[in-house]
Amino acid sequence: MTDQIRLLVVEDVPQVAQYIRGLLNSQTAIKLLDVVSDGNRVLTLIAELRPDVVIVDALLQGRVKGMSVVAQINQSGLHVPVIVLTVPQQPVTVDVYNGVHGVLAMPFTGYELVTRLQQVHVTSKVTEGTGTARMISVFAPKGGVGKTTISFNLAVAIGQTGLRTVLIDGSLQFGDMRALLKVPIEAPSLLDLPTDRIQESDLADVLWRDPSGIDILLAPPRIEMAEMVTVRDLEKVLSLLRRVYEVVIVDTPAVVNDINLAFLDSSDTILEVVTYDSTTIHSTMVMADAFRMIGYPPTKVRYLINRADSTGGFDPEVLNRALGRAPEHSVASGGALVVRANNEGIPFVLADPSAEISQDVTRTANELLGRAVPAPARR
Ligand SMILES: Nc1ncnc2c1ncn2[C@@H]1O[C@H](COP(=O)(O)OP(=O)(O)OP(=O)(O)O)[C@@H](O)[C@H]1O
Ligand SMILES: [Mg+2]
Range in 192-196, 247-251, 279-283, 371-375 with the lowest mean pLDDT: 371-375
- pLDDT above 70 covers a percentage of the chain that reads 94
Q: Is 305 in the pocket of ligand 1 (CB under 6 A)?
A: no
At what angle are helices 14-25 and 110-129 packed, to 10 degrees?
80
Q: Are 307 and 332 in contact (CB under 8 A)?
A: yes
- From 338, 346, 362, 363, mutation site for ligand 1 pocket: most ligand atoms within 8 A of C-beta: 338
For residues 319, 257, 133, 207, the Cα torsion angle rounded to the nearest 10 degrees is -120
For ligand 1, whether the C-beta of 344 sits within 6 Å is no
Which ligand 1 atom sits nearest the alpha carbon of residue 253?
A: 27
In short, whether 175's Cβ falls inside 6 Å of ligand 1 is no
Contacts of 269 (CB under 8 A, 6+ apart): 134, 135, 136, 137, 300, 301, 302, 368
Assess whether the C-beta atom of 124 lies below 6 angstroms from ligand 1. no
Model confidence band, residue 1 (pLDDT cutoffs 50, 70, 90): very low
Residue 38 burial (10 A CB sphere; 0-12, 13-18, 19+): middle
Contacts of 192 (CB under 8 A, 6+ apart): 205, 206
Which ligand 1 atom sits closest to the C-alpha of 339?
A: 31
Going by C-beta distance under 8 Å and a sequence separation of 6 or more, which residues neighbour residue 15? none
Could you count the other beta carbons within 10 Å of the beta carbon of residue 152?
A: 31
Instruction: From 137, 139, 142, 148, give the residue whose CB has the most ligand 1 atoms within 8 Å, as the site to mutate.
Output: 148
- Does ligand 1 have an atom closer than 6 angstroms to the CB of 306? yes
Ligand 1 touching residue 149 (CB < 6 A):
yes
* Contact between 198 and 237 (Cβ < 8 Å): yes
1: CA distance to ligand 1 center in Å?
Answer: 55
Nearest to 82 by CA among 21, 28, 7, 3: 7
Ligand nearest to the CA of 283: 1
Q: Are the beta carbons of 273 and 140 closer than 8 angstroms?
A: yes
Angle, CA of 276, 268 and 79, to the nearest 5°: 145
Average pLDDT over the chain reads: 90
Rg for the chain (alpha carbons), in Å? 22
Residue 172 beta carbon below 6 angstroms from any ligand 1 atom: no
Q: What is the mean predicted confidence (pLDDT) over 137-166? A: 94
Distance from Cα 13 to the centre of ligand 2, integer Å:
53
Q: Please state whether the predicted TM-score (pTM) of the whole model is above 0.75.
A: no
Band (pLDDT 50/70/90 cuts) for residue 2 is low
Do the beta carbons of residue 54 and residue 81 sit within 8 Å? yes
Count of beta carbons in the 10 Å neighbourhood of residue 150: 24
Distance in angstroms (rounded) separating the CA atoms of residues 239 and 53: 23
Give per-residue pLDDT as tens, 214-230.
999 999 998 898 888 99
CA gap 224, 211 in Å, rounded: 29
Confidence of residue 202 (pLDDT cuts 50, 70, 90): confident
Name the residues around ion ligand 2, CB cutoff 5 A: 147-148, 176
